[in-house]
Structure 1
Amino acid sequence: MFFDFGPLTQDSSFQISSTSRSRVSAPRTGGVRVSLACVPCRSRHVKCGAGMPSCNRCVRDAKTCFYLPSRRAARDANTLRERTPIHEMGKEIGGHSRGLAPLTYDTGCSPSESYRSHTGLSSEVSGSPASSPSRNSPKDASPRRLLDLYYNFFHKAHPFVIPRYHFLSRLESDPDSLKYLSPVMQYIGSLYATDISSSKFREVVLNELDSPSLPSTGFTVLALLVAAIATHCEEEMERGRAILDRAIVMALELEMNSHTFASMETDPILAESWRRTYWGLYVTDGAFASIRHGPTFRLYTVEAKVELPCEECDYEGVIPRPRTLVEYERRDFEDEIPVFSSFTYLIDLASIAGAILGFGRLSNKELEDAVTNADAMLMSWKLHLPHEKQGIIDRKKKWTSLLIYTHRPLSRLDYFPIEKINQWVPLPVASNINSSRNTTDWLHTKKALEAAEAAANLIALPCHILQHTPLSICGLALATFTNMSACAYILSGSQWYDTRNRVRLGLGGLKAFGEVWAASRRSEREAKEIARGVFVLKWPEMRDETVGGFDFTFGSQGERLRY
C-alpha cells in the first residue's frame, strides 16, 4: 500500500519463543557451526565480514556494529536478573519491569503463533478484535493498557514516537512534556479495544488539541500528527486535514525541517524521534493529498535539511550517524549502492507521489505523457532498491496505489457510478472518460490490474491486518474497485474467477479494517453494493483461450481481445 511501511523482518534467530523451544526434540550430540554476523547485517539479511570491532559493511554504511552475546550465557539469565536493578530490566529483550509488555526485535510479519508470543497481548492481538473472547469480558481502561495497544498495533506502521521503554521512562520522569501526546496515544489505543468506548477519549483529546494555547514543542507536533491520522481514518477527513495543517505550521515555526532542531537534542533517541516526526509529516501530508486528489501537498515544496531516519532495529537499540538527503541522491552513482532505511525509501516514494498528483486535471495528450514519466520514476525507484530491500518492498506493496492512480484513467477499466461519490477513487476528467480507445489502453489496463492484484495480496500476509496503517484502506479500496471493474467490463473465463476471488479478499480486508476504522466500513458498504451487481448477474463460461497471461473480453460487444 501507499503509506504502509514497517520494520524489517528479522532473522529467525531473533525470535525467542517458548513455543519454538518446546518443539526441539532430543539434544544433538554434535554442535552446529553458525557463521558470526553482527546484528545490523543480520537484521538486513546481508553478508557480514565479521570484522572486529566493526565489520566492513557497518563502517561503510556508518552504522554501529555490535554482536549478540553467546547463547551459552542464557543459562545464567536468572542469576543475572537477580543482580540487575529494577530500572534496568525494562531494557532487556522480553523484560517486564513496571508492567512493560515484552519488547523484542521481532518487528516484522511472522506466523501467528510466533506473533502471539512477541506482542505481550496474547488474545488481544491474535484474532479479530470483535471475535476475541477476552475482549468480550469487561476490562480496565488503564493508561498502561491503552499505551500497550497503541504500541502493539498503531506504532508498528507509524514509528514516530520514541520506543516504548523510553516513553514509559519519560512518562515517569517528565510527565508534563507528554501532557498532550500521551492522551492521544491512549485514545488511539482505545480504538483497538472493543470492550472500551473510545468516544469519551476522543472528545477529550480533540478538545485539548483545539486549544489555541497549545505549547509549541516537538511533542505537541507529534501529538497532532498521530491524532490527524486517526481522525482522518475515523472518516473525519476535513478535521484530520485541519489538525495536520496545524502540526505542519507548528513544525515549520520550530524549524523541524532544518538540521539544527534534531541535532541540538542531546538524547539520540529523542533526536531520531524528531527526524521521524518531520518526515512523518511529509509522508502523511502526501498521503492525505493523494486520498483527497489534491494537485500537490504543502511540504512537497518546502526545503528540508533534516537528516533521514534510521532502521527500526537501530531505533530500538543504538542510533547510528544520521544519513543525509545528499547522500541518498548520490546513491545511484556509487559502485556499490549503500543501503538506507525502509523509512527513507518511503520518503522518496512520497516525493514521487507529489509529482504525480493532479493528473486528473490534464488533457488526454498531457496525461499520456505524464503517466509515461511517472511510470519511469516508479520503475527507477524500484530498480535502484538494494537487493536486500527488494523483498521487503514486494511484501509491503507501497507503490501499488500510485500505479492504479496513474494507469486506470487511461485503461479500459471503466468506472461505476457509485465510485463518483467514493472518497478514495480519483476519477478522470470527462474528456478522458469519453475519449476513443487506442492501442495503449491495454498496456495501462494490464499495469493497473497487476497493481490491483499486488495490493490485494497484501491481505494474505501472515501478520495481523490491523498492524498496517489505516491509510492502507485507500489503496485496498482502489484495488477492490479496479478488480470489480475488470470483472464487469474486461475479463472472462478462469481469469474472471481468479479476480473475483481477489475481490472477496479485498472485501475481507476492508471488513477487518472496519472493526476499528469507520472509513473502511463505508468503503466496504459501497464495494459490496457494486459487487452485488457485478457478481450476481454475470457468471461467464470457463474458457481456456489465453495468450500471454491476459485474455480480455471488452464490454457488451463480446469481442475477444488478447494482450
Structure 2
Amino acid sequence: MSGSLGNGYEPRKGEENIDMFFDFEYPQEESSKSPKSPKSSSSTTKSQETTSRGGIRVSLACLPCRSRHVKCGAEMPACNRCLQDDKPCFYAKSRRGMRDRSSSKKKASQRDRGSRSPTFNNNNYSQNTNSSGYSNNNMFGNSTNDAYTNGSSSSRGSPSSSSASGPATSRQLIDLFYTYFYKAHPFVLPRFYFFTRLEADSQSLTHLHTVMQYIGSLYSPSISSSSYRTAALATLDLPSLPPTGFSVQTLLLTAIALHCEDEFTLARAVLDRAVFLAVELRMNCKEFALLETDPVLAESWRRTYWGLYTTDSTFAGIRRAPSFILYNTDSTVDLPCENRDYESGDIPRHPHTLPTYDTRDLLDEPITFSSFTYLIDLCRIAGTLLKTLSLPREEMEEEVADCGALLGCWRLHLPEEKKEVLINSNSNGKDRNRNGGFEGEREGEAEVDELMFQAHALFYVCQIRLHRPLSLLPYAPLEIHTTCAPPPPSHLLPLPLSLRKNTSTSIHTTTTLQSTYAVLTLVTLPGSQPTSHSPLTICFFTTATLAALSACAYFLEGKEWERMRDRVRLGLGALKAVGRVWKVGRRTERDSKAIARGALEVKRGDVGMENTGYGGFGGGGVEEYRNVNFEGQEVQGVDGVDWEGFQNSGYVGLMNAVETQGVGFGSSFGDI
C-alpha cells in the first residue's frame, strides 16, 4: 500500500499541466478601508448603540468557527481560537465589489430550475467548462448561511417523508441523499459545505449534483426515479465529464447506485473508469489533497480515493474475483479523519498515515484512528483473502490460518470505542468539553456508526467466506443463481464427511456459525434502519442468511436450530426492507426465499451427506451441483486480467492493464 508512483515511470507528454486540476486561490480578506456611505454610517451608529449594551459583536467570523458555532475574534490572518487549537483558519471571500450585474437573474433562474421537476436532455450536461471543469473561485467564495438554508425545508424521518402533491425539488432530493445514503459513504462534501459550494460555483458540481438527486429519488416511494436515472447516466457521456475530483465522485456514486440496482456489469465498468480517472489525476498520491488550499475539500479528496478503494474491494469480493485493481496500485494517500471532524470542518492539520497505522501495535500511547480507517484496513485484509480463496484446496487450508490471524489482529487492536457500532448521536459536529464529552449531549441517545457497521459486518462475512468451504455447512445448488453471494469454485466445495478431519472441521464450522449469528444480529441494533446502511451490505446479509439456512438444514437441532431460524427471519426481513429502495434487495430476497423453502424442508440424512458432503436442498440434487460450471464467475469487466502482473506495478501497470487487458469501459457497454 505504501510507496510512490516510481518503478521507472517517466512523466508523459502533457502531464506538466496537471496543476490545472487544483484550486490555488486563497480567500480574500474583507476590506476594512472602504469609504462608508451615509447609510452605512447610520447603521454603524445603531450597531454601536446595541453593542454598548450587549458587548462587542463581530460580524466577520472565520469559517471553522462559524461551522462550529463558536465565538471568533476575526483576527487576521488567523483568529486566536484557530491558533490556540492549531487549526487552519480561513474566511469567506468578500462580496464587496464582486457583484455581477446578471447575478440576480442567474439566481432567479436557478431557483426556478430547483422548484420544478427536471426535464432531462443529454445536451444539458455538456455545459461550457474550462479545462479543469470548474472555475477558479474559492470553495467558500460568496458563501453565506443562506446557501445552506435556501430552498425547501429539509426532509426527515422515513424515506417517504418527501411525499408531496407536487414534484420533488432539488433540495428535497439532496436532503434524502444526505439522510439515508451519505453517512455510509461520506466522501462527498458535507451538507453545509456542499450547498455553500453549490451557491458559489454550481458549475463544478453539475454532474455530481445530478447523481446525488438520482440516489435521493430512490429513497422516496412517491418519486419516480426514471427521469433522474436518465440524467445520471447522461453524465457519463465522455466529452461532458471534466477530469476533476468531482467527476471521480460522480462515477463512484453512479457505480454504487447501479450495482445496487442489480446492474453489476455496468456498475463494474463505471467503477473501472472512476479508478482510471483517479489514478490519471494522481489521487492516489497524497500531494493531490495537500495542494488543495481548502482543508475540507482536501479531506474530501482523501475520502474519495479511499471510497474507491473500499468499493473496489467490495465489488471484487461479491463476485469472487481473485483481486481488485487498487489493491495492487501504489498509494501514499493520508488516512481520513473522524466523520464528526469532517462534518464540522475541524480537519486535523496533520492527518494520520498508513505507516503509522501499520505500527500501531508498537506505540506506547495508543492512537484511536477514524472509523473509515478501520474499514480501509479490513478491505486490505479482504484483498489477501481473495487470493486465498482462489487457491487449490490443499494450499487454501494452509493459508486459512494466516488469513484468520490477520482478521484476529484487526479485531484485537480495535480500541474499545470502535468495538461497538453505536455512538452518541450528538457527537457529530460538537465540541468536546473538558471531561471528554460533547456539549449539549444527553445520555441514552445513540445512533449507528455506519462505517463501523460496515466494518464489523465485513469482518464476519470474511470469516464466513474463509471457513464455510471447510466446514460442515454445504452449499445449495440454487446458490449459484444468487448475484450477491455466489458459491465458491467447485474445487472448494465441502468434502464428504469421511474425508474430513474432525478437529479442523469442527473449528471451521463453529467459526462459520458464530460469524453468521453475529452478522444477522447487527440488524437488531437500536436505532438501526436497514435502509440507512450502505446498500452494499445487502450482499453481506445474503451471505450470512444462506449460511444460516445451511446450518438449519444440516447441522443444528433443538434450541440452537430455533435461534438460527430466527436469524434467518432477520436476514430475510432486512432484505425485504432494503428491497423497497434497491432492486438488488428485491431480487436477493426472492432468491433467498426460494432457497429457504427447500432448505427448511430438508431432513438431515435424506440426501446422503455422509457419502457426498454436498447439499441437496433447493432442488437439482448432487449431480446437478457437481456439474455446475463455475468458470467465469469472477467479476464482470475484469476477466482476463493478469493479476500477477499487477503486483508492484504502480501507475504504469494499471494504465497498461486498462489499455490492453480489457479493464475498460467501452468494451463492456457503449462509450461510457
TM-score normalised to structure 1 length: 0.74
The correspondence for 1:191, drawn from 206, 218, 229, is 218
The correspondence for 1:418, drawn from 463, 470, 478, is 478
Q: Aligned pair 1:121/2:150, yes or no?
A: no
CA distance in 2: counterparts of 1:437 and 1:139, whole angstroms: 64
1:449 shift after superposition? 1.1
1:522 shift after superposition? 0.9
8 Å contact from structure 1 (residues 293, 358) kept in 2: no
The residue type paired with residue 491 of structure 1 is: L
CA distance in 1: counterparts of 2:591 and 2:405, whole angstroms: 33
- Cα distance, 1:300–1:87 mapped onto 2, change above 3 Å: closer
1:534 shift after superposition? 2.7
Which residue pairs with 2:354 in the alignment?
325
1:428 shift after superposition? 3.0
1:536 shift after superposition? 4.7
1:360 shift after superposition? 3.7
1:246 shift after superposition? 0.6
Flag the structure with higher helix content: 1
1:321-343: CA deviations, max 9, x gaps?
21111211221100121111000
- Cα distance, 1:152–1:139 mapped onto 2, change above 3 Å: farther
Superposition CA RMSD, Å: 2.7
8 Å contact from structure 1 (residues 407, 444) kept in 2: yes
The correspondence for 1:172, drawn from 175, 195, 199, is 199
Which residue pairs with 1:30 in the alignment?
none
1:558 shift after superposition? 10
CA distance in 1: counterparts of 2:165 and 2:530, whole angstroms: 24
Q: Aligned pair 1:344/2:344, yes or no?
A: no
- Cα distance, 1:420–1:269 mapped onto 2, change above 3 Å: same
1:432 shift after superposition? 3.1
The residue type paired with residue 368 of structure 1 is: E
Which residue pairs with 1:388 in the alignment?
417
Which residue pairs with 1:308 in the alignment?
335
The correspondence for 2:178, drawn from 151, 154, 157, is 151
- Cα distance, 1:410–1:558 mapped onto 2, change above 3 Å: closer
CA distance in 2: counterparts of 1:429 and 1:293, whole angstroms: 9
- Cα distance, 1:499–1:179 mapped onto 2, change above 3 Å: same
Which residue pairs with 2:574 in the alignment?
509
Structure 1 spans left out of the alignment, 5+ residues: 1-52, 65-85, 102-119, 539-552
8 Å contact from structure 1 (residues 153, 466) kept in 2: yes
More off after superposition, 528-537 vs 483-492: 528-537
8 Å contact from structure 1 (residues 490, 554) kept in 2: no
1:401-447: CA deviations, max 9, x gaps?
11111111111110111101212224233333263222211211111
CA distance in 1: counterparts of 2:263 and 2:408, whole angstroms: 34
Q: What count of residue pairs does the alignment treat as equivalent?
A: 440
CA distance in 1: counterparts of 2:360 and 2:494, whole angstroms: 43
The residue type paired with residue 562 of structure 2 is: Y
SS in 2 for 1:378: helix
8 Å contact from structure 1 (residues 297, 354) kept in 2: yes
8 Å contact from structure 2 (residues 187, 300) kept in 1: yes
- Cα distance, 1:272–1:394 mapped onto 2, change above 3 Å: closer
8 Å contact from structure 1 (residues 465, 512) kept in 2: yes
1:371-396: CA deviations, max 9, x gaps?
11111100001101122212235794
Q: Aligned pair 1:530/2:530, yes or no?
A: no
Which residue pairs with 2:395 in the alignment?
366
8 Å contact from structure 1 (residues 283, 350) kept in 2: yes
Which residue pairs with 2:500 in the alignment?
437
CA distance in 1: counterparts of 2:214 and 2:259, whole angstroms: 14
Identity over the aligned pairs, expressed in percent? 47
Which residue pairs with 2:110 in the alignment?
none
CA distance in 2: counterparts of 1:394 and 1:224, whole angstroms: 24
- Cα distance, 1:230–1:90 mapped onto 2, change above 3 Å: same
1:557 shift after superposition? 7.4
The residue type paired with residue 521 of structure 2 is: N
CA distance in 2: counterparts of 1:554 and 1:453, whole angstroms: 24
The residue type paired with residue 98 of structure 1 is: N
The residue type paired with residue 501 of structure 2 is: N
1:90 shift after superposition? 6.6
Q: Aligned pair 1:457/2:457, yes or no?
A: no
The correspondence for 1:142, drawn from 161, 169, 173, is 169
- Cα distance, 1:219–1:365 mapped onto 2, change above 3 Å: same
SS in 1 for 2:513: helix
SS in 1 for 2:463: helix
Which residue pairs with 1:398 in the alignment?
458
1:286-314: CA deviations, max 9, x gaps?
01100111000000011111111000000
8 Å contact from structure 1 (residues 216, 254) kept in 2: yes
More off after superposition, 340-349 vs 427-436: 427-436
- Cα distance, 1:188–1:304 mapped onto 2, change above 3 Å: same
Structure 2 spans left out of the alignment, 5+ residues: 1-79, 89-141, 422-451, 611-672
CA distance in 2: counterparts of 1:484 and 1:502, whole angstroms: 9
8 Å contact from structure 2 (residues 473, 550) kept in 1: yes
SS in 2 for 1:209: coil
The correspondence for 2:279, drawn from 239, 249, 252, is 252
CA distance in 1: counterparts of 2:608 and 2:268, whole angstroms: 44
More off after superposition, 450-459 vs 265-274: 450-459
CA distance in 2: counterparts of 1:148 and 1:394, whole angstroms: 22
1:358 shift after superposition? 3.6
The correspondence for 2:547, drawn from 482, 491, 507, is 482
CA distance in 2: counterparts of 1:258 and 1:123, whole angstroms: 40
CA distance in 2: counterparts of 1:404 and 1:555, whole angstroms: 26
Larger radius of gyration: 2
8 Å contact from structure 1 (residues 405, 426) kept in 2: no
Which residue pairs with 1:34 in the alignment?
none
8 Å contact from structure 2 (residues 471, 494) kept in 1: no
More off after superposition, 451-460 vs 148-157: 451-460
1:139-159: CA deviations, max 9, x gaps?
422111100000001101000
CA distance in 2: counterparts of 1:384 and 1:153, whole angstroms: 30
Which residue pairs with 2:102 in the alignment?
none
CA distance in 1: counterparts of 2:259 and 2:381, whole angstroms: 22
The correspondence for 1:288, drawn from 311, 315, 338, is 315
